[in-house]
Structure 1
Amino acid sequence: MPILRLHDCPARPWKNGLGRTRELAVEPPAAGMDDFLWRVSVAEVDSAAPFSAFAGVDRTIVLLEGAGFAMALDDGRTHALTEPFAPFGFPGEARVTVALAGGATRDFNLMVRRGRVRGRVAIWRRADDVRVLAETVLLYCARGRLELDDDVLQPGDAWLRSATIPAHSHLAPGGVVLAVNVSPVG
């Protein structure tokens, strides 16, 4: 089963060069910032740097660690990304500035190419939340542990979909998993 470990993913600069991210998965494999269909990464936000712009992309962000930050979007909306594991969606072309609520944070990001695919991040907190769907492309263990067949995901580990869906899955008490579902439009 394809297991990814966040610590094995190199930290790379954001598209705008003002922060760092670790890419967990991208479709198609080896796609760049301008030609991916979908992309999943974990970013480290340690300053009030503006987000990179991604035209034609829908983004979902989820606070993983830290006090979070306030987001100000150029359409006048604001959002306090201060509650862990509460997904927030916004258009990738939006100019977004941030004000840290405390120190550095770590957040999970799903980006999907608008008009081609739809994406959603489901949060699993209980054993009965666990449902690997046909459109599930990645599972990210944020807390605790997730058993998938003979493999165990610890915090920072991700399962990347291959041809086989796990026959057995179990989320340990206190665990939190982010399930990324991507489906074609139309």
Structure 2
Amino acid sequence: MPHSLLDLATARAMPWKNGGGETLELAIAPAGAGLDDFAWRISSARVAADGAFSRFAGVDRSLALLSGAGLRLRRGDGRVEELHAGGAVARFTGEEAIAATLVDGPVGDLNLMTRRGVWRHRLTPQRLHGRQELHNDAAVMLLWCQAGAGIECRLPDGEMQRLESGQGLLLEDQPGPLALQAPQPALLYLAWLYRQG
């Protein structure tokens, strides 16, 4: 399947690996993989209480905040990193001991994980207003609409797709130019996943 629409409203709810909460699984490869044998996974969790992150050995992770007042991460080396909706992305390994503290009430996040040595990825915020061209050189690309509405996406094959807030577009093996059009200011999270080995 060259592309698919991801939506928080229809995603599958699953318990966290450590049992401390619930996550919405947006996409996973290979299809039907579990938490210990996926190649890559995209999910969105609602964090309603302070606590430790699940451990994922051999996995690289990126985390962005989609909603809420903020989330403080105490990293394994003692550093504290604060995430805000639409802001910077936290990157860490699945082995790192991380404790999360809510700034003021529950938050929603976007979580991207890739199996080290098999896949690598990057996740970054992108502000959009008007027309913008992007180029996809990755095996898998995610466009996630964090804020805004009615974003038009012209895919490399010429097909048009529309994104609303809380929706994402997953492109698989579909390299080439992308044309994005946002009638009002919008914020996307863009992810590129590359095969390794």
> Does the alignment reach a TM-score above 0.5?
yes
Task: Find out whether 1:181 has 2:186 as its counterpart.
Answer: no
Q: 1:125 to 1:171 in 2, by over 3 A?
A: farther
Q: 1:130 to 1:155 in 2, by over 3 A?
A: farther
Task: Find out whether 1:74 has 2:76 as its counterpart.
Answer: yes
User: Match for residue 10 of structure 2?
Assistant: 8
Paired residue type of 1:176: L
User: Match for residue 141 of structure 2?
Assistant: 137
Identity over the aligned pairs, expressed in percent? 36
User: Match for residue 157 of structure 2?
Assistant: none
User: Match for residue 37 of structure 1?
Assistant: 39
Q: Distance in 1 between matches of 2:11 and 2:56?
A: 22
Shift of 1:30: 1.5
Structure 1, gaps ≥5 residues long: none
Q: Distance in 1 between matches of 2:171 and 2:105?
A: 34
Q: 1:105 to 1:38 in 2, by over 3 A?
A: same
Q: TM-score, normalised by structure 2?
A: 0.85
Q: Distance in 1 between matches of 2:39 and 2:46?
A: 23
Shift of 1:11: 2.0
Shift of 1:130: 4.4
Contact 1:19–1:49, Cα closer than 8 Å, also in 2 = no
Contact 1:146–1:171, Cα closer than 8 Å, also in 2 = yes
Task: Find out whether 1:102 has 2:104 as its counterpart.
Answer: yes
- Give the CA RMSD over aligned residues: 2.0
Query: Greater shift after overlay, 158-167 or 72-81?
Result: 158-167
Shift of 1:164: 4.2
Q: Distance in 1 between matches of 2:25 and 2:111?
A: 9
Paired residue type of 1:133: N
Query: Greater shift after overlay, 123-132 or 79-88?
Result: 123-132
Q: Distance in 2 between matches of 1:171 and 1:85?
A: 21
Alignment equivalent of 2:168, drawn from 154, 158, 161: 158
Q: TM-score, normalised by structure 1?
A: 0.90
Shift of 1:153: 0.6
4+ aligned runs moved over 6 Å, structure 1? none
